[in-house]
Structure 1
Amino acid sequence: MTPKLIIFDCDGILVDTEKVANEVLSGFIARAGLTITPDECHLRFTGRTLDTIRSLLIEEEGLDLEEDWADQVRAADLEAFQSGIEAIPGIKDVVEQVRARGIPYCVGSSGKYEKMNMTLASAGLLDYFKDVLYSAQDVPHGKPSPDIFLYAAKGMKVDPKDCIVIEDSLPGLQAARDAGMAAFGYVADPLSNPEKVRALGAIPFERMEDLPALLGLPGA
């Protein structure tokens, strides 16, 4: 059945920010005393809010991080993104097909509104999403909690069971599952794990070109 609402994650689904963001994050963590590569950051932290990452680093690694550490990382991310952010290959066509068929859609992201507005604008996608952005900054808990997706569904006035989530992170797919939503996991990244995606009840896919048919879009 065609979904009544499609909820897109932002980073890694709409905009190609993950490589730059993980390079910034690994640098901040290294300066705090823990050597970690960008790839390790990707595997461990992608999909989570920076506030959640800070808590994990304090609790699990014993790092001494300033109260405003997450804000420092966000500011460094925005500076790094100034050089330009590309859209994920094929995603613009997916969004055009969704719009052409009149299917409601929105963004449900761990990122803050300032970051989403900047990266989506840089990638030429902001006009599609500027009125349907939902950020984890507005809910009590970030991914893997289902809060952001339930918040987006409520804002769009759609029952969670009628929503489909498009995600690239395991915490995001767990959030979708716990929200009672079907999900598709984008696994184009070599570090992705399709088996873990399936274990969370989601369907993995490697090419954005395949997504319209997976979504059951008429004529796809």
Structure 2
Amino acid sequence: MVIFDCDGVLVDSERLSHTVLCEMMAERGVALGFDEAVELFIGVSLPVGMVKVRELLGGSVPADFLPEMGRRTRQAFLAGLTVVPGIVGVLDALRRPYCVASNGNHAKVSFTLGHTGLLPRFAGRIFTADDVDRPKPAPDLFLHAARMMDAEPRHTTVVEDTPTGITAAKAAGMRAIGYAAMTSVDRLHAAGADVVVQTMAEVQALLARPHP
């Protein structure tokens, strides 16, 4: 079985969402560079992300911050969200069961997959942080997905683009492929990835091989 992360693996959302975050922080007097935002926020759950926002803002988050960020991120997605280049070919070639497991919530994942045309491919096989008490980097979400898919963790491969996701996959006893699109190869290796690649063609080739 194969588990795909959503943001940055299925849909090319990370650049859009981090750009919105940087703009909103700048409007509140905090200079947050794009690379720094990626370093701090990529792959984290919303509650963890808001703790980081609170720290950057000096201890409090305006009541309208999260709703405004959601509105502006949705607008950015409607205007420019696409699938990750090459992922459709990966899914078309896959001969194993697969699903998606995301640190986002069900509403966000359904929206992004629906907007990009991927939703029918994952119908009934969408698992999110809403489903577990502890999101990634805890193993709970991946273990939940494996149980629901009737798959053994040791026979499961995870495709992830963040250290948070790689850490969760390895804690779950699964094989982890790191997709280094916005996170460095070194960071994914340091998190424990079994292999790190930089294109979906490489992901497709790895998934075509028998699981070790």
Mark the runs of 5 or more structure 2 residues left unpaired by the alignment: none
Deviation at 1:58, TM superposition (A): 3.0
Runs (5+) with no aligned partner, structure 1: none
- Structure 1 residue 121, shift from structure 2 partner: 2.0
Question: What's the offset of the Cα at 1:162?
Answer: 1.7
The one-character-per-residue Cα deviations of 1:137-184 (angstroms, maximum 9, x if unpaired) are 222222222222122112212122221110111111111111111100
| Structure 1: distance between partners of 2:139 and 2:68 | 26
Q: Match of 2:110?
A: 117
Q: Which residue of 2 aligns with 1:167?
A: 160
Q: CA deviation at 1:94?
A: 0.5
SS of the residue corresponding to residue 29 of structure 1 reads helix
Instruction: Report what 1:209 is aligned to.
Output: 201
**TM-score, L = length of structure 2:** 0.89
Question: Secondary structure at the residue paired with 1:196?
Answer: helix
Q: Does 1:151 align with 2:137?
A: no
After superposing the two structures, state which structure 1 stretch, 167-176 or 117-126, moved more.
Answer: 117-126
Amino acid at match of 2:61: L
Structure 1, 179-188 or 136-145: larger mean CA deviation: 136-145
**Runs of 4+ that moved beyond 2 A:** 27-34, 56-63, 66-76, 215-218
Percent identity (aligned): 37
In 2, Cα distance between equivalents of 1:70 and 1:108: 23
For residues 1-23 of structure 1, the C-alpha deviation after alignment (integer angstroms, 9 at most, x for no partner) is xxxx1000001101111111001
How far residue 119 of structure 1 moved from its aligned partner, in angstroms, is: 1.5
For structure 1, which segment, 30-39 or 112-121, has the greater mean C-alpha deviation from structure 2 after superposition?
30-39
Structure 1 residue 81, shift from structure 2 partner? 1.1
In structure 2, distance between residues paired with 1:151 and 1:106:
11
Q: Give 1:60 shift.
A: 7.1
> Are residues 153 and 16 of structure 1, via their aligned partners in 2, closer, same or farther at CA, if it must alter by over 3 Å?
same
- Measured against aligned partners, the alpha-carbon deviations of 1:55-98 in whole angstroms (never above 9, x if no partner) come to 23335763311467444422321122111411111100100111
TM-score (norm 1): 0.86
CA distance in 2, matches of 1:146, 1:92: 27
Q: Distance in 2 between matches of 1:112 and 1:131?
A: 15
Q: How many aligned positions are there?
A: 209
Letter in 2 for 1:77: T
In terms of mean alpha carbon deviation, does 65-74 or 123-132 score higher? 65-74
What secondary structure, in the 3-state scheme, does the structure 2 residue paired with 1:158 have? coil
Structure 2 counterpart of 1:135: 128
| 1:33–1:63 CA contact under 8 A, matched in 2 | no
Counting only pairs closer than 5 Å after superposition, residues 1-220 of structure 1 correspond to structure 2 as: 5-58=1-54, 62-66=58-62, 69-98=65-94, 101=95, 103-189=96-182, 192-202=183-193, 203-217=195-209
CA distance in structure 2 between the partners assigned to 1:56 and 1:89 by the alignment:
30
8 A Cα contact 1:32 1:63, kept in partner: no
Secondary structure of the residue aligned to 1:12 is: coil
**2:197 partner amino acid:** F
